[in-house]
Amino acid sequence: MSGHVAAIYRHPVKGFTPEPLTHVDLAPGEGFPHDRIWAVENGPSGYDADAPAFTPKQKFTVLAAIPGVAAARTRYDEATGVLTAEAPGAPPYSGRLGEPAGRLAFADWLGSVLPGEDIRGPLKVVDARGAFRFTDHPLGQVSVINLASVRDLSRKMGVELDPLRFRGNLYVDGWPAWVENEWPGRELMVGWARAKVFKPIVRCAATEVDPTTAVRDLEVVKALFDNYGHMFCGIYIQMTSSGRIGLGDAATAPQ
């Protein structure tokens, strides 16, 4: 049973715009490169950059709590370290989140973009560059979405779901729908890298927000439970060997 990698994405700022890639180099014990390396506190979160530790996503500006986050379009240039952002009715932002002044400016910009009623306290950009990542699970190194599962859920709901609602790193086509939920603890090969399946991903209200319109429009979590008796869509994997993964590469399922 072999699928292929149909899309690769990173999310440099947690909760904000997915960025498509043609390939990625992954290694054991390292995070997905340039993925969720920054997050924006919505009021003090308790995160300490000098002693990075898992912090619940509810502490940050994420789609689950603030659908308007999707209206801000961000893009990170890793060569220059510059993040650019734009949103309707706001001047564009450009700056380096690796520098204190750039982080302050981006937080100020977001304060003028996000709905005031959704801001609980001071906005502050926090930095996790290095091996740490602002993932939704402390051990969820890389997220994989089975496109057949998304299509099956779409049929059940009578709509065409944008797979980007699920904010994955790797999107795989060619696997049977929902088979990935049976794989925890098993090994697979993706591109030139090997990995072990950690666990299915439990979905939250972020999936209810249309990534294009920034409107909360569909009860995806309820549809998962009503149709399948679970709230899973996608799996976390942990790399067991280093390797490059590119578009079109084989994604060989456990035997």
Residue pair 84/73 in contact (Cβ under 8 Å)? The answer is no
Q: Are strands 170-173 and 142-146 parallel, antiparallel or unpaired?
A: parallel
CB atoms inside a 10 Å sphere around CB 101: 9
What is the C-alpha R_g of the chain? 18
pLDDT tens readout for residues 98-118: 999 999 999 999 999 999 999
pLDDT at 77: 97
The whole-number pLDDT of residue 239 equals 97
Check residue 253 and give its pLDDT.
84
pLDDT at 129: 87
C-alpha distances (whole Å) from 75 to each of 35, 57, 177, 248 are: 12, 21, 32, 24
* Structure-derived torsion over alpha carbons of residues 142, 148, 153, 154, reported in degrees to the nearest 10: 110
Burial class (CB in 10 A: 0-12, 13-18, 19+), 238: middle
Which whole number is the average pLDDT over 176-201?
97
What CA–CA distance (Å, rounded) separates 172 from 194?
Answer: 15
Instruction: Please report the pLDDT score of residue 7 as a whole number.
Output: 98
Quote the tokens at residue 27. Answer: 């290694």
% of the chain beyond a pLDDT of 70: 100
Residue 255 has a CB neighbour count (10 Å cut-off) of 7
pLDDT value at position 47? 93
Half-sphere exposure (Cβ direction) of 141: Cα atoms closer than 13 Å:
16
Tens of pLDDT, residues 47-97: 998 899 999 999 999 999 999 999 999 999 999 999 999 999 999 999 999
Q: What percent of the chain has pLDDT over 90?
A: 95
Residue length of the chain: 255
Report yes or no: 222 and 161 within 8 Å, Cβ to Cβ: no
Domain ranges of the chain: 2-31+137-252, 38-127
Confidence band, pLDDT 50/70/90 cuts, at residue 209: very high
What mean pLDDT do residues 215-231 have? 98
Question: What integer pLDDT is reported at residue 164 of this predicted model?
Answer: 98
What is the average pLDDT score of the chain? 96
CATH pick for 2-31+137-252 out of 3.40.220.10, 2.40.33.20, 2.60.40.420, 3.30.530.20: 2.40.33.20
Whether residue 3 contacts residue 175, with contact meaning beta carbons closer than 8 Å, is answered with yes
In this predicted structure, the answer to whether residue 255 has a pLDDT above a threshold of 90 is: no
The C-alpha atoms of residue 131 and residue 165 are separated, in whole angstroms, by 25
How does pLDDT run across 6-43, given as a tens digit for each residue? 999 999 999 999 999 999 999 999 999 999 999 999 99
Other Cβ atoms closer than 10 A to 107: 18
